[in-house]
Chain A
């Protein structure tokens, strides 16, 4: 059987969901038997150059680069799975949504108590920030959403193995319980 091709992506978040994926421990040996990794921060492959079966994305959408990469994921992945609180709701980064963007930037880079000779960063290399941080589903269709901050390794393993086997993922109560 041909291996499924999997890509992973990271937008605005803490990388904790990728860390949780690595928490599958020795099951990663099983996984490499089943999948081939394409574009991912883990292997540092930058661009899509072939169709991907499953895309796994972490983080909310907070700047123009996030928008571009998320759209590329949707265009290149047959199944797109958003994982973790930031991808699903905006998460912690979305806390800035209650404050106007310019105010946030001014406090961080100009008027903050530890800032000396500050300015709002304007290097053309930097992606421009969006006014608000968005969950991924605001921009593109998401096929599956796995909640958690981060989702546990068991939850990710169940979701991924179900999709690889062509069945619907079912997360147990324990896999969705966080306290």
Chain B
């Protein structure tokens, strides 16, 4: 096997070039071939890419979907995110354990099947879901599991098994993003004869803001990047939507990739980039073939590649890079680190990516949806764009709607729409609460349903999870906090330690063991985590607790223990190991 590894690694490095930034591609290829990355492959990868083995190991061990432990031939990654759990992922997990005779985290003794949990993979609208090797399975129910496991054991093609496949659930197209498929080059044609400055001016006048959730003005970002000096400029499309409950980019890339690439091309024209990268999350690897075909089609039509629309001075091409399972990669500087072949730890800022980003060059990192809107702005004009949405949040927003609703899926709504209107639209009667913007967003109860989806009121990256009556909302807030503790990159102590402490507090709260003093201390901890963390993950990690406490304090009141103090200490259990090691009897009755 060692020779085979060597040959494989040599071949990939030969194709890509001996460049450390390709370590992810090499690692993914090895993982794909052997099902995991054998420890013996690490020095070989390092040698060929002129890295140290510890750099390669550091990178590999960071990502959830890369493993140095042997895995089964077939790896079932069942999603256990909040919406999946609401929709019965627990029963599905039990069925998988029953059918395979192993627990999650284990591999069958014949090396056939491994069971693993994974975070939200962008299929909340058809939960429970799983990735089995690279094939997505949706709407899984316990009765289906037997057939799936039998199919795996019989060596059948996974795509023929029941439950495999993804429905692209576009429920409501709007005017800007899903209006229709844009003609190839329709926006690019508008650029002909228009200077870079004029194009930038149009984007700025549109008032368009980034759709990832933070809402940074797109024109401002483009301008900063355009004016930054560097050998090259880069345009990166952030298709790593990992926020629990969001899946709009999946639908957007499936239905309207042309417009995404058109927007990237326009951004490239404005900032003077010749190279673009789509960072696609590993969970969307099944979209890659489609995206490659769309890129090829665009090259054939002369709207991508060496000479765009016979425009001698303008060439731009796009390549797709695939991740390996990490939430924090969604943060732009972490995404750049990942593209450079490193663990995805967010960078210190400033400098911002627009000044020094990918390979230390000025870089735009924007959401898939932002590029799509940018293409529409250039095609139809800023005035037209501003006729949608609100003054401060012009345009439309894609919402990924899931949870207790009749019609889960993607909805394109105008900014300024009230939450109540959305609830009505998606068929959510008697909603108890809505989680807007995913784990890092906010939890609103009926008192907040008149509020509007807009940067000046309730901003969102697009996740919209509805909790129906009877749902134990605090239990789901506990799961969100646990998710942050799991996904913290570990760089800053307040985030690494703080999220774990919050997670333990939520465990005790849900179990009815937390006191008021514990709650007070947890709130103080939230403050520390928010103020002392480097990136958005830490800054938003306390949100599930803080926003649900604000909107539904009564849930907390009901759950708090009546005791003023509750020890978290079991003396008998604590003394057992020490007494045994010293070969002494454990003292009684203390």
**A contacts, CB < 8 Å to B:** 63-64, 67-68, 100-102, 105-106, 120-122, 124, 126, 128-132, 134, 138-141
Cβ contact within 8 Å between B569 and A128: no
Q: A134 to B575: give the CA distance in the assembly, Å.
A: 13
21 chain-A/chain-B pairs, Cβ below 8 angstroms: A63-B578, A64-B571, A67-B571, A67-B590, A68-B590, A100-B577, A122-B582, A122-B583, A124-B584, A126-B582, A128-B575, A128-B578, A128-B579, A128-B586, A129-B578, A129-B582, A131-B575, A131-B577, A138-B569, A139-B569, A141-B564
In-complex Cβ contact of A130 among B568, B575, B583 (8 A): B575
Asked if B567 is at the interface (CB within 8 A of a chain A CB), the reply is yes
Kindly list chain A residues whose C-beta atoms are within 8 Å of the C-beta of B517. Answer: 141
Cβ contact within 8 Å between B575 and A64: yes
Kindly list chain A residues whose C-beta atoms are within 8 Å of the C-beta of B586. Answer: 128
Within the complex, the shortest CB–CB distance from B288 to chain A, in Å, comes to 40
In-complex Cβ contact of B580 among A63, A67, A102, A140 (8 A): A102
Q: A43 to B180: give the CA distance in the assembly, Å.
A: 84
Q: A138 to B582: give the CA distance in the assembly, Å.
A: 25
Kindly list chain B residues whose C-beta atoms are within 8 Å of the C-beta of A128. Answer: 575, 578-579, 582, 584, 586-587
The residue in B564, B582, B584, B587 that gathers the most chain A C-beta atoms within 10 A of its C-beta is B582
Q: A10 to B565: give the CA distance in the assembly, Å.
A: 23
Cβ contact within 8 Å between B569 and A134: yes
Kindly list chain A residues whose C-beta atoms are within 8 Å of the C-beta of B571. Answer: 64, 67
Cβ contact within 8 Å between B565 and A102: no
Kindly list chain B residues whose C-beta atoms are within 8 Å of the C-beta of A131. Answer: 573-578
Q: A140 to B583: give the CA distance in the assembly, Å.
A: 29
Q: A126 to B584: give the CA distance in the assembly, Å.
A: 11
Kindly list chain A residues whose C-beta atoms are within 8 Å of the C-beta of B575. Answer: 64, 128, 130-131
Say whether, besides A138-B567, A139-B567, A102 and B577 are in contact (CB < 8 Å): yes
In-complex Cβ contact of B574 among A120, A130, A140 (8 A): A130
Within the complex, the shortest CB–CB distance from B62 to chain A, in Å, comes to 19
Asked if B581 is at the interface (CB within 8 A of a chain A CB), the reply is yes
Say whether, besides A128-B575, A138-B569, A64 and B587 are in contact (CB < 8 Å): yes
Q: A106 to B583: give the CA distance in the assembly, Å.
A: 13
Within the complex, the shortest CB–CB distance from B367 to chain A, in Å, comes to 37
**B contacts, CB < 8 Å to A:** 517, 564-565, 567-569, 571, 573-584, 586-587, 590
Within the complex, the shortest CB–CB distance from B5 to chain A, in Å, comes to 32
Cβ contact within 8 Å between B581 and A105: yes
Kindly list chain B residues whose C-beta atoms are within 8 Å of the C-beta of A141. Answer: 517, 564-565
Cβ contact within 8 Å between A120 and B569: no
Which A residue's beta carbon lies closest to that of B575? Answer: A128
Q: A74 to B101: give the CA distance in the assembly, Å.
A: 50
Nearest 9 CB-CB pairings of A with B: A129-B578, A141-B565, A122-B582, A130-B574, A128-B578, A102-B581, A131-B577, A101-B577, A138-B568
Say whether, besides A131-B573, A134-B569, A138-B568, A122 and B584 are in contact (CB < 8 Å): yes
Which A residue's beta carbon lies closest to that of B583? Answer: A122
Kindly list chain B residues whose C-beta atoms are within 8 Å of the C-beta of A124. Answer: 584
Q: Is the interface of A mostly helix, strand, loop or mixed?
A: mixed
Within the complex, the shortest CB–CB distance from B255 to chain A, in Å, comes to 48
Cβ contact within 8 Å between A120 and B590: no
Q: A126 to B582: give the CA distance in the assembly, Å.
A: 10
Kindly list chain B residues whose C-beta atoms are within 8 Å of the C-beta of A139. Answer: 567, 569
Kindly list chain A residues whose C-beta atoms are within 8 Å of the C-beta of B564. Answer: 141
Kindly list chain A residues whose C-beta atoms are within 8 Å of the C-beta of B582. Answer: 105, 120-122, 126, 128-129
Say whether, besides A64-B590, A68-B590, A130-B575, A101 and B581 are in contact (CB < 8 Å): yes
Kindly list chain B residues whose C-beta atoms are within 8 Å of the C-beta of A100. Answer: 577
Q: A101 to B250: give the CA distance in the assembly, Å.
A: 48
Kindly list chain A residues whose C-beta atoms are within 8 Å of the C-beta of B567. Answer: 138-140
Within the complex, the shortest CB–CB distance from B527 to chain A, in Å, comes to 13
Which B residue's beta carbon lies closest to that of A130? Answer: B574
Q: A126 to B587: give the CA distance in the assembly, Å.
A: 12
Kindly list chain A residues whose C-beta atoms are within 8 Å of the C-beta of B577. Answer: 100-102, 131
**What 19 new A-B contacts, CB under 8 Å, besides A120-B583, A131-B574?**
A64-B571, A64-B575, A64-B590, A67-B590, A101-B577, A102-B581, A105-B581, A120-B582, A121-B582, A128-B579, A129-B581, A130-B574, A130-B575, A130-B578, A131-B573, A131-B577, A134-B569, A139-B567, A141-B565
Q: A106 to B574: give the CA distance in the assembly, Å.
A: 18
Within the complex, the shortest CB–CB distance from B495 to chain A, in Å, comes to 16
Q: A64 to B577: give the CA distance in the assembly, Å.
A: 12
Kindly list chain B residues whose C-beta atoms are within 8 Å of the C-beta of A122. Answer: 582-584
Q: A140 to B517: give the CA distance in the assembly, Å.
A: 12
Kindly list chain B residues whose C-beta atoms are within 8 Å of the C-beta of A138. Answer: 567-569
Within the complex, the shortest CB–CB distance from B390 to chain A, in Å, comes to 40
Within the complex, the shortest CB–CB distance from B355 to chain A, in Å, comes to 27
Q: A140 to B568: give the CA distance in the assembly, Å.
A: 9
Kindly list chain A residues whose C-beta atoms are within 8 Å of the C-beta of B569. Answer: 134, 138-139
Within the complex, the shortest CB–CB distance from A111 to chain B, in Å, comes to 13
Kindly list chain B residues whose C-beta atoms are within 8 Å of the C-beta of A121. Answer: 582
Kindly list chain A residues whose C-beta atoms are within 8 Å of the C-beta of B565. Answer: 140-141
Kindly list chain B residues whose C-beta atoms are within 8 Å of the C-beta of A105. Answer: 581-582
Cβ contact within 8 Å between A101 and B578: yes
Which A residue's beta carbon lies closest to that of B571? Answer: A67
Within the complex, the shortest CB–CB distance from A31 to chain B, in Å, comes to 29
Which B residue's beta carbon lies closest to that of A101? Answer: B577
Within the complex, the shortest CB–CB distance from A135 to chain B, in Å, comes to 10
Q: A120 to B580: give the CA distance in the assembly, Å.
A: 10
Q: A122 to B517: give the CA distance in the assembly, Å.
A: 39
Within the complex, the shortest CB–CB distance from B10 to chain A, in Å, comes to 39
Kindly list chain A residues whose C-beta atoms are within 8 Å of the C-beta of B590. Answer: 64, 67-68
Cβ contact within 8 Å between A132 and B574: yes
Q: A68 to B581: give the CA distance in the assembly, Å.
A: 21
Within the complex, the shortest CB–CB distance from A91 to chain B, in Å, comes to 13
Within the complex, the shortest CB–CB distance from A171 to chain B, in Å, comes to 14
Q: A64 to B585: give the CA distance in the assembly, Å.
A: 13
Which B residue's beta carbon lies closest to that of A71? Answer: B590
Kindly list chain A residues whose C-beta atoms are within 8 Å of the C-beta of B568. Answer: 138
Q: A161 to B363: give the CA distance in the assembly, Å.
A: 55
Kindly list chain A residues whose C-beta atoms are within 8 Å of the C-beta of B578. Answer: 63, 101, 128-131
Q: A165 to B483: give the CA distance in the assembly, Å.
A: 45
The residue in B575, B581, B583, B586 that gathers the most chain A C-beta atoms within 10 A of its C-beta is B581
Kindly list chain B residues whose C-beta atoms are within 8 Å of the C-beta of A101. Answer: 577-578, 581
